[in-house]
Structure 1
Amino acid sequence: MPLPREVELKLEFRRCDLPRLEAALAEVGSEPVSTFLRSDYFDTPGHEIRRADLTLRVRRDGERRIQTVKSDGRESVGLFDRIEWERDIEGDFPVLDIAPRRLVKALADVPVAAIFASNVERKKSLVQTDSAEIEAAIDIGEVRNAVGGEASNSGIIADLAELELELIRGPAAALFDLARRCNAAAPVRLGVLTKSERGYRLLEADAEKSARAEPIALQPAMTTAPAFRTIAWSCLKHFRLNETILLEAADARAASGALHQARVALRRLRSALSLFRSVIADDQFERFRAALRDLAAVLGEARNLDVLLDRTTDPALRERLQAPHADAYAAVRTALESPATHSLMLDFAEWLTLGDWLVNPANVDSRDQPLLPFAADRLQNLRKQLKRRGDGMTDADDETRHEARITAKKLRYASEFFSALYSGGKAGKRRRNFQDKLEKLQSRLGDLNDLATAPQVLASLGIAPAEAPPADRGAMIRDAAAAHAGLIDARRFW
């Protein structure tokens, strides 16, 4: 008997937009039913349940106690497709005797305890269209961490304002259609965190400052299409986590780390589009590539001013940069809050899930080719480009070194995307050595690019450079050339 699957589109919104969102759902859905739900999440001290890609919770729904185990399964930004095991139990503590064997195996007799809890008011309605039936649930509440080993009413809090659209029957496209209808009434963003992930992030000290890219779980037996989707979802999640932190930051100083990581996420996503172009190109490809480039450019202007301020020692120049710096961050907020960006993310998520590139017979051979030879070919081509563009670096101009930096960045992202394919034995050791040398080269070229970019940024603001280039520029170029030579001499891992 197949296990129950949960297919839902998770969206986030601002609490002040709740009335408009409720009104939009009232036009198409049934009368909402309100319930108050308390869910306690359990794990071991070493988080063995999480490491097994499972979630264990006990939910209080009135007098009922419902134990649920969820498998992470195939997870994407906003859209979640997971296997779940659900049973009614007596009491507030999980009954492991009836838990799936996979969970019991992960625990290995290690005791579990409540580590965080969610408290929400859920308003649930049913939306029926000609082709689909969707359960729409608005959750308003919070996630609280555990204190003293027991989920309590004190501790660190993460606020919740979510809309979950769960597909009861019909095509998944209906979820996105309803999401767009809601977005037209009140801005919504793709949800990237389950409630359990929010709880685990409460335990991470740096989670509120910025979020780095997570490892990408590719498998050697994969073909290129699912590999691209896995990579792209990871990039989108990386972006969305930092977008939220950035928008909630009190000022530019608090937002700088998240802005940098959001920009990195967009660059990684654009690199993935370029890397897999032969697999995914369809009539929407250029639209998404251009839109992501334009959004990244807005973030890039603010990031350039961050770097310039960090490097500037002249107090008068720092003072003159404050107003343009604030304006650049305001432009970032405007871009991220714009209807165009909200729609872009919904459209891109649907394209990843249901796009023509997944069914177009014209690219079936590219879409179904084995991942390992594809990865090796792309890595080799990028290495060749970097070798060619880095030759003669000490005598090259700034533009040539900039092109080498861009290629180094693409090679680094590609090596990170495909890391899981080369994780063990000699290949793993060579990969780590190669990536260390690549990171060193990228850092040296990045410093040179910042040096070359600073006068251009100042000129765009009508400011004459206050400081001459440092006397060690020649040494910086020689260091970059040495780092390039070291990388090219390194043994390939693919």
Structure 2
Amino acid sequence: MAPKPSHTPAASPAAPHPVEVELKLLVLGLPPDEARQRIARSPSLARRRALRRWLVNRYFDTPDQQLRQHRCALRLRQTLDAPPGDGAAGPWKQTLKTAGLAQGGLSQRGEWETDVPDGQLQRAALQGTAWETLDPADQWFERLQPSFETRCERTTWRVRRRDGSVVEVAFDAGVAKASGRMDAFAELELELIQGDPAALFDLARELAARVPCLPSSRSKAERAQALADGTLHGVTKAARLLPRDGETPWALAQRAMADMLEQFTRNLEALWHADAPELVHQARVGWRRWRSMEKLLRPWWPWPIDHAPLRPLLQALGEQRNLDVARTETLPAWADAWPGAASEWQAAIDRLAQACQAQRRAVRAQLATPATGLGLLQLAEALWRMGAGGQGFGRQAARQRLQRWHRQLHRLLDSAEHGAIDLASLHEARLLAKRLRYGSEALAGAMSRKRQRQASRWAGEATDWQTRIGQARDAWQAAACLQSTGAAERLVYFLRGVGASLDRQAQAMAQQRE
């Protein structure tokens, strides 16, 4: 039973304005003991003393979830020297965490921590903290109730580096409990005690080379809340970003890229647990959005990123998406047009279903490689470094880059003499249409209303062409998938005919457009 709120004075005062700077990595595909051993053998930790403890975290909120709405968390934590149960006892701390910056696994947020001897919420422990602004009349505090709980075994190392930075490395393996549900987790937390955040990434690369991992900006409280909601392993789509007062186009671009990386990594994490085809689709959308912005910002982007470590995963995702679309979209859409036996058509779908299952195993195998984690860490670090860049990137620069892509798209559609356009140009136009769409959607908020309407038209036009040309590509890919799974040859030829017909339609539309 969770303790009831109390107004007993705190044993020690809360810190005035602390800021927690932390990099979080989910560990995939390894039993906790093996992951812990691999981490402990890394050069920076091998000669360091490890401290092993067990943590019980109880989170509180109001019935209408005011803290969640303000992206805050209030918890009681008990630290034990032995696993919970059998009368194990240990000190309690009360912690308030406030909303802050969370991008690509790196988070910076306010944190106030106070000893509470009796293991009950104490209003006095919140004096001088952000709570005074959040709940000045104590209307929330009186209604606080337990929301969920996490329990984990924590192993920590304190690392002092030659540059003077100090980082605490924590490996947590445990479970979250909420609304009768339970979810196991294993994660690395690198907290900056002293120095520059670059030290977090330096050490994270060393650890990620030993254990497969994904950058994650989701806290344990957010993870448990998603578990309570039944959305923990659900689909993550692009967020609609509204401009903030006084926000520069570069700052908006950084926020947009943070959302793109979040879309990519959260869907990858969910793919580890779930089979929904939409997870693959949204992961690839997140990646394409990221790459589109990389290209758009290239003149102002001084941080080279090596995408080679991610290519095996991206290829596996692409093959998975082709199979998913063939099985769930293309073949069902053309089933009524098939002149042959229905049993032959169903047999092809069954073959595709088996291929989908095998390919999902291949995707998960790529997620469980250290190379994937190292590749994703590059993106997270580049996102952090964006905070110090962007000189010269303003509204005009953003508009000019988008206008350039818009002109390129129209030149491609006008490329051949006498109104003819070849298939290679059509498919190049499809890729450019995606780039224009994602760039326009991300940066529209940095433009004037007139330019926003223009960008919206560009995005709409780009989406239209992306859809038209994509339908033909899907038919061709479905034919290739059928052939690779050993389907009847006439089925393969039928889908190729569909693809050729849709290609001709797209060519005709390109020739007739105004």
TM-score for both structures, normalised by structure 1? 0.78
Counterparts in 2 of 1:79 and 1:450: CA distance versus 1, 3 Å: same
Paired position in structure 1 for 2:120: 92
Residue 375 in 1 paired to residue 393 in 2? no
Q: 1:65–1:91: 8 Å Cα contact kept in structure 2?
A: yes
For each residue in 1:310-362, what CA deviation from the matched residue of structure 2 results, as whole angstroms up to 9, or x when unmatched?
222412333444554444334323332223222212233334435xx887xxx
Paired position in structure 2 for 1:272: 293
- Of residues 285, 296, 316, the one that matches 1:298 is 316
Residue 9 in 1 paired to residue 34 in 2? no
- Of residues 23, 39, 42, the one that matches 2:61 is 42
Query: How far 1:276 moved relative to its partner?
Result: 0.8
Q: 1:209–1:257: 8 Å Cα contact kept in structure 2?
A: no
Query: How far 1:429 moved relative to its partner?
Result: 7.7
Letter in 1 for 2:316: V
Structure 1 counterpart SS, 2:212: coil
Structure 1 counterpart SS, 2:269: helix
- Mapping of 1:294-443 within 5 angstroms? 295-310=313-328, 311-312=330-331, 313=335, 314-322=345-353, 324-354=355-385, 367-390=390-413, 396-421=421-446, 439-443=463-467
Paired position in structure 2 for 1:119: 151
Query: How far 1:291 moved relative to its partner?
Result: 4.7
Query: How far 1:281 moved relative to its partner?
Result: 4.0
Distance, in Å, in 2 between the alignment partners of 1:82 and 1:358 is 16
- Of residues 3, 18, 37, the one that matches 2:35 is 18
Structure 2 regions of 5+ residues with no counterpart? 1-14, 80-88, 336-344
Letter in 2 for 1:122: R
- Of residues 121, 124, 134, the one that matches 1:103 is 134
Query: How far 1:8 moved relative to its partner?
Result: 1.6
Paired position in structure 2 for 1:446: 470
Larger radius of gyration: 2
Distance, in Å, in 2 between the alignment partners of 1:227 and 1:64 is 43
- Mapping of 1:47-58 within 5 angstroms? 47-58=65-76
Counterparts in 2 of 1:467 and 1:15: CA distance versus 1, 3 Å: same
Structure 1 counterpart SS, 2:135: helix
Query: For this pair of structures, how many residues does the alignment match?
Result: 460
Distance, in Å, in 2 between the alignment partners of 1:5 and 1:94 is 21
Letter in 1 for 2:58: S
- Of residues 215, 222, 226, the one that matches 1:197 is 222
Distance, in Å, in 2 between the alignment partners of 1:188 and 1:342 is 5
Q: 1:119–1:142: 8 Å Cα contact kept in structure 2?
A: yes
For each residue in 1:100-150, what CA deviation from the matched residue of structure 2 results, as whole angstroms up to 9, or x when unmatched?
2432279976944332222223233322232332212222222222x5xxx
Distance, in Å, in 2 between the alignment partners of 1:343 and 1:106 is 47
Distance, in Å, in 1 between the alignment partners of 2:251 and 2:202 is 24
Counterparts in 2 of 1:87 and 1:371: CA distance versus 1, 3 Å: farther
Residue 31 in 1 paired to residue 50 in 2? yes
Counterparts in 2 of 1:69 and 1:295: CA distance versus 1, 3 Å: same
Distance, in Å, in 2 between the alignment partners of 1:220 and 1:338 is 42
Structure 2 counterpart SS, 1:28: coil
Residue 213 in 1 paired to residue 238 in 2? yes
Query: How far 1:304 moved relative to its partner?
Result: 0.9
Letter in 1 for 2:269: T
Q: 2:98–2:110: 8 Å Cα contact kept in structure 1?
A: yes
Counterparts in 2 of 1:53 and 1:382: CA distance versus 1, 3 Å: farther
Structure 2 counterpart SS, 1:119: strand
Q: 1:41–1:196: 8 Å Cα contact kept in structure 2?
A: no
Distance, in Å, in 2 between the alignment partners of 1:382 and 1:106 is 54
Letter in 1 for 2:371: A
For each residue in 1:270-309, what CA deviation from the matched residue of structure 2 results, as whole angstroms up to 9, or x when unmatched?
1121111111145x34x23x55556423311221121112
Paired position in structure 1 for 2:84: none
TM-score for both structures, normalised by structure 2? 0.76
Q: 1:224–1:369: 8 Å Cα contact kept in structure 2?
A: no
Query: How far 1:458 moved relative to its partner?
Result: 4.7
Letter in 2 for 1:258: L
Distance, in Å, in 2 between the alignment partners of 1:226 and 1:182 is 30
Distance, in Å, in 1 between the alignment partners of 2:357 and 2:502 is 34
- Of residues 137, 160, 169, the one that matches 2:194 is 169
Q: 1:33–1:125: 8 Å Cα contact kept in structure 2?
A: no
Query: How far 1:67 moved relative to its partner?
Result: 3.3
Query: How far 1:82 moved relative to its partner?
Result: 1.7
Deviates more, 1:93-102 or 1:9-18: 93-102
Structure 1 counterpart SS, 2:158: strand
Percent sequence identity is: 30
Q: 1:224–1:279: 8 Å Cα contact kept in structure 2?
A: no
Distance, in Å, in 2 between the alignment partners of 1:185 and 1:261 is 28
Structure 2 counterpart SS, 1:408: helix
Q: Between the two structures, name the one with larger relative contact order (CA 8 Å, sep ≥ 6).
A: 2
Query: How far 1:426 moved relative to its partner?
Result: 7.8
Counterparts in 2 of 1:52 and 1:191: CA distance versus 1, 3 Å: same
Counterparts in 2 of 1:102 and 1:403: CA distance versus 1, 3 Å: farther
Q: Calculate the aligned-residue CA RMSD, in Å.
A: 3.9
